[in-house]
Amino acid sequence: MDGSPAVAPRDARAEAASEVKACADRVMDNIERVLVGKGAAIERVVVALLADGHVLVEDVPGVGKTTLVRALARSIGCEFRRIQFTPDLLPSDITGVSVFNPRTGGFEFRPGPLFGQIILADEINRTSPKTQSSLLESMEERQITVDGVTRPLPRPFLVLATQNPIEYEGTFPLAEAQVDRFLMRISLGYPDPRQERDVLTRLEREHPLGLIEAVVDAATVVAAQERTKEVFVHDDIKDYIVRLVERTRRHPDVQLGASPRGSLSLFRASRALAAVRGRNYVVPDDVKELARPVLAHRLLIRPEAHLQGIGPDQVLDDILRQTGVPAERPVR
C-alpha cells in the first residue's frame, strides 16, 4: 500500500511531525559521521529513543555497538553510562546502595550507573538472572526502588543492551519477561569492503567520536518524544497491528506468541518511524517494516520447527504475507 489511510486534517500534527523529523535528522546525521554504513540501524535506535523504548543488539564483538551508543549520547547531550555485565555482578552494583555515614549517623544513598540517561548494558547475558531482573523496574517504570525508597530516573532514559549470538559458554539466556521489555532487537552486521576501508581512513589519526558535539539537548529529545505521540494512527492501522500480533499466538510453529505489550510496542514504534520520516500519520508500510525488529524476539518457536530451521523472522514473514493490509483511503 503506497497511499495513506484517512487522517486528521493537516494541522498541529504536521507541525509536530516536522519538528520530530528535524530533531531526528540532526541526531542521525551526527552519528553517521562516526558510524559508517549503518544508517538503518541508527534510524531504528533513534525510533526507539523517540518511542521511549529500549533496544537489544545481538551481534558479534567489534562491529560498533559501543560507538553507536556513545555517539548517540553525545549527539543529544545526555549522560552516558556503561555497565559491563559479568557473572559476579550484583543488583546493588547497578541500582545503587545505601551506605552508613559515621559523621551523620545515618545512611546515604549512592546511586548506581543506572541513574544515567543512555545506558549501555554490555553483554547482558553474562550476568545472573537475579542481576538481569534488577533492570526490569527501571526499563518499564523509569524508576528504581532501593531499601523501600523509589527514585525516578532522568529523561530521556534508554537502555541499549548487547549480547553475542554465537558464544554461549558462561552465559545466562534472558528470561522472556526481560526480553519483552525491549522495544526492538537489531543487528549492526559487518560493513562491506568499501565501508570498512572508510573506517580505516577515519581512524587513521584519531577517533571521530571525540570530534562530535551535541546537536540537540535532552529537553529537545523529551519534547520530540511528546510530539511523537501526536502522530495519527487510523483505527484500521490499529486493527492491522492487533491482527498481526494475534496471529503470532495461533501460528503452528509458535509455542508462545507476542503479548499485548508487543502490540503496544509496534504501535509506538510505528508512530515514531512515521514522525522520523516527516509524516503525521502511520501507513501499513511502517508497521510491516518494524514487525520483525519489534516482534521477532518476543516469539518462542516450537522445538520441532526450530530443528527444521524455522525461526521468528520466517514466521513473521509468513504472517505478513497472509495478513491483508488496510484498504487505501483518501487523505482528508
Of 231, 275, 198, nearest to 43 by C-alpha is 275
How far is it, in rounded angstroms, from Cα 303 to Cα 313?
A: 15
Q: What is the pLDDT of residue 17?
A: 81
66 in a structural domain: yes
20 in a structural domain: yes
Domain count of the fold of the chain: 1
Q: What is the pLDDT of residue 80?
A: 92
Per DSSP, 10 falls in state S
pLDDT tens profile 40-88: 999 999 999 999 999 999 887 777 888 899 999 999 999 999 999 999 9
How far is it, in rounded angstroms, from Cα 139 to Cα 181?
A: 7
pLDDT tens profile 238-273: 999 999 999 999 999 999 999 999 999 999 999 999
Question: Which residues form the domain of 297?
Answer: 12-322
Q: Considering the entire predicted model, what is its pTM?
A: 0.89
pLDDT above 60 (res 331) = no
Task: Give 188's pLDDT tier (boundaries 50, 70, 90).
Answer: confident
How far is it, in rounded angstroms, from Cα 199 to Cα 207?
A: 10
Mean pLDDT calculated for residue range 159-171: 78
Element (H, E) at 255: strand 254-256
Q: What is the pLDDT of residue 10?
A: 57
6 in a structural domain: no
16 in a structural domain: yes
Percent above pLDDT 90 for the chain: 60
271 in a structural domain: yes
4 in a structural domain: no
1 in a structural domain: no
132 in a structural domain: yes
**Least confident piece of the model among 120-124, 155-159, 168-172, 294-298:** 168-172
Q: What is the CATH number of the domain that holds 300?
A: 3.40.50.300
266 with 241: CB under 8 angstroms?
Answer: yes
